[in-house]
Amino acid sequence: MTNIIVIAVLLVIIGVAAGYVIKEKKSGKKCIGCPHGGSCNGCAACDKEEE
């Protein structure tokens, strides 16, 4: 019974994370979690800042 509960919790967490990624991609963000607030042209802008 415990295994079923653990599996259910993990599936819910993975489902919520996948839903967030899909929602953000549909809204046009190229880099999810980008510090530029979605205004960069892709991860290349994020990589330049790290150098």
Is the overall model pTM greater than 0.85, yes or no? Answer: no
pLDDT band at 47 (very low <50, low <70, confident <90, very high): low
pLDDT in tens, 4-43: 999 999 999 999 999 998 998 888 777 777 766 556 665 5
Which letter does DSSP use for residue 36 in this model?
T
Please give the Cα distance from 32 to 29 (Å, whole number).
6
Dist. CA 49–CA 35, nearest whole Å: 10
Q: So where are the chain's domains?
A: 2-50
